[in-house]
C-alpha cells in the first residue's frame, strides 16, 4: 500500500461513532495511535512517521495552544531519532507540567515568541534553533547526534553560515543557569554537519564515548581513471584505515540503486573498495546492528586498528 499524507491516515473514534461505523478498536484493519485515534494497519511507517501521527493526534485531542518541542519538534523539522527517544510526545505550555497516561509530556518552559513557528499544517513548534538547544540539553551521546547534526546542518544551509558560526549563535542563546546547559554545550560542540546519514551520526557518537581517534568525514579519494572521486564516511589517514556505515538502503532502495540490481550494487561496491584499499589498506564496515552497540562497534574498529587512546 502506498503511504498517503500522514494526517490523512488518522481515524478518530468520535468521528466513527457519529457516522455509525464500527468502533475502530474492533476493526482489525486499524492500529492504535493513542487513545481515541487509529490508523490503517497495513501502512509501513518509520518511527518518526508514527511519532508524527501521535503529535497530530495529540493536537486534535487536547485544547489548542500546545507548542511541540524537544524530540517531537525535531521530528517535525525532519530530523532522525532513535525509537527509544520517541517514547513521549513533548510540548511546551508555560506554567503547566505533567506527564499524562496518553504519553504526552508537557514542559512548563517559557519560550520567546520569536522562537515559535507555525507550520503549514497549523501545528505550533519551537524553531529549529530552539529545538536544537532543547535536544542538546535533553538527549545524551550517542543518540543526540542524530537529530543535532541534522538540525545544525539545515540551519547552516538556510542561513548560508558555517558550522562554527551556527554553534556559537546557539550557545549564546542558551539561558544562563538553565537546566542541562553544560550538557547542551558539550553536545553542540560534538556536532559535525558533514555527517552523511543518521547511521554515521550514531557511529560518531559512539566513537566519542569509546575515546578512539576521531576520523575525518566524507573524505575524497580521486579515482585513477579520472572519473570523479571515491567518498568514504570516515577516514583515519594516520592509521591507514577508512570506515563505512552500510545501511540496507544502499543495496535495495531504488534511489540508491540507480537502475542496478542488488548484485550489481554489491559488485560495484567491491570494485570501489578495491580502489580505496590502494590508498588505505584497512577498511572497516558496519551497519545499524553494530552502530547501535558500542561493544560491537569497538570490536569492528579495533580489528581495523582504530583503538582507544591510552593516556
Contact yes or no for 99/113 (Cβ under 8 A): no
C-alpha cell at 80: 532522525
Residue range 155-183: mean pLDDT, rounded: 93
Radius of gyration, alpha carbons of the chain = 22
**CA 282 from centroid of its chain's CA atoms:** 29
Q: Is the pLDDT of residue 190 over 60?
A: yes
As a whole number, mean pLDDT of residues 254-258 equals: 57
- Cα dihedral 27, 33, 35, 36 in deg (nearest 10): -50
**Cell for 231?**
567518498
How would you classify the pairing of strands 11-12 and 67-68? unpaired
pLDDT above 70 for 206? yes
b/e map 286-302, b = 16+ CB within 10 Å: beeebbbeeeebbebbe
Q: State the average pLDDT over residues 207-225.
A: 96
Give Cα separations from 86 to 231, 235, 269 (angstroms). 32, 32, 34
Average pLDDT over residues 50-67: 87
3-state secondary structure 118-134: ECCCCCEEECHHHHHHH
- Using the predicted structure, report yes or no on whether residue 157 has a pLDDT greater than 80: yes
User: Would you state the pLDDT for residue 247?
Assistant: 65
pLDDT of amino acid 311: 43
Q: What is the mean pLDDT of residues 300-305?
A: 97
Lowest mean pLDDT among 1-5, 194-198, 263-267, 283-287: 1-5
Percent of the chain clearing pLDDT 90 (strictly above)? 62
Share of the chain above pLDDT 70, in %: 86
Length of the chain: 311
- Lowest mean pLDDT: which of 5-9, 66-70, 197-201? 5-9
CB atoms within 10 A of CB 123: 20
Q: Among 47-51, 215-219, 224-228, which stretch is predicted with the lowest mean pLDDT?
A: 224-228
Q: Which residue has the higher pLDDT, 28 or 300?
A: 300
Residues 125-145: what's their mean pLDDT?
A: 97
What is the full DSSP assignment across 102-113? TSEEEE-----G
Sign of CA dihedral 286, 291, 296, 298: positive
pLDDT-derived band at 42 (thresholds 50, 70, 90) equals confident
Residue ranges per structural domain of the chain? 46-188, 198-303
Closest CA to 97 of 72, 137, 66, 128: 66
Q: Please give the class, per CATH, of domain 198-303.
A: alpha beta
pLDDT of residue 186: 96
Residue 43, pLDDT score: 84
Least confident residue range of 28-32, 108-112, 241-245: 28-32
91 three-class SS: strand
Q: What is the DSSP letter of 59?
A: H
Please give the model's pTM, rounded to 2 decimal places. 0.87
What confidence tens digit (pLDDT) does each residue in 88-115 have?
999 998 665 666 657 899 988 889 999 9
pLDDT for 293 equals 97
Q: Omega of the bond prior to 73 within 30 degrees of 0, cis?
A: no
pLDDT at 215 over 90: yes
Q: What are 258-302's pLDDT values in tens digits?
A: 667 777 877 778 888 889 999 999 999 999 999 999 999 999 999
Mean pLDDT over 81-93 rounds to 94
What does the mean pLDDT of the chain come to?
A: 87
Amino acid at each position: 500500500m502506498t503511504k498517503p499524507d500522514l494526517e490523512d491516515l488518522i481515524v478518530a473514534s468520535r468521528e466513527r461513532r457519529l457516522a455509525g461505523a464500527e468502533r475502530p478498536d474492533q476493526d482489525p484493519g486499524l492500529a492504535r495511535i493513542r487513545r481515541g485515534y487509529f490508523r490503517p494497519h497495513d501502512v509501513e511507517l518509520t518511527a518518526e512517521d508514527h511519532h508524527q501521527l501521535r503529535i497530530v493526534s495529540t493536537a486534535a485531542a487536547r485544547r489548542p495552544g500546545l507548542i511541540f518541542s524537544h524530540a517531537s519538534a525535531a521530528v517535525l523539522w525532519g530530523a532522525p531519532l532513535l525509537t527509544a527517544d520517541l517514547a513521549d510526545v513533548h510540548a511546551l505550555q508555560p506554567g503547566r507540567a505533567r506527564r499524562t497516561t496518553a504519553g504526552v509530556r508537557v514542559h512548563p518552559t517559557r519560550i520567546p515568541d520569536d522562537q515559535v513557528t507555525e507550520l503549514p499544517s497549523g501545528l505550533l513548534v519551537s524553531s529549529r534553533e530552539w529545538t536544537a538547544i532543547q535536544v542538546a540539553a535533553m538527549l545524551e551521546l550517542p543518540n543526540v547526534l542524530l537529530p543535532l547534526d541534522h538540525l545544525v546542518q539545515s540551519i547552516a544551509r538556510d542561513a548560508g553560515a558555517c558550522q562554527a558560526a551556527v554553534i556559537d549563535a546557539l550557545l549564546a542563546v542558551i539561558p544562563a543557569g538553565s537546566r542541562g546547559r553544560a550538557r547542551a554545550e558539550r553536545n553542540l560542540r560534538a556536532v559535525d554537519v558533514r555527517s552523511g546519514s543518521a547511521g554515521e551520526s550514531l557511529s560518531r557518537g559512539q566513537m566519542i564515548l569509546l575515546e578512539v581517534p576521531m576520523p575525518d568525514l566524507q573524505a575524497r579519494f580521486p579515482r585513477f581513471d579520472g572519473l570523479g572521486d571515491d567518498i568514504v564516511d570516515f577516514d583515519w589517514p594516520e592509521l591507514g584505515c577508512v570506515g563505512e556505515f552500510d545501511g540496507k538502503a544502499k543495496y535495495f532502495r531504488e534511489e540508491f540503486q540507480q537502475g542496478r540490481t542488488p548484485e550489481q550494487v554489491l559488485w560495484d561496491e567491491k570494485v570501489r573498495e578495491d580502489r580505496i584499499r590502494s590508498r588505505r589498506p584497512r577498511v572497516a564496515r558496519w551497519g545499524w546492528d553494530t552502530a547501535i552497540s558500542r561493544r560491537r562497534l569497538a570490536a569492528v574498529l579495533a580489528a581495523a586498528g582504530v583503538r582507544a587512546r591510552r593516556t
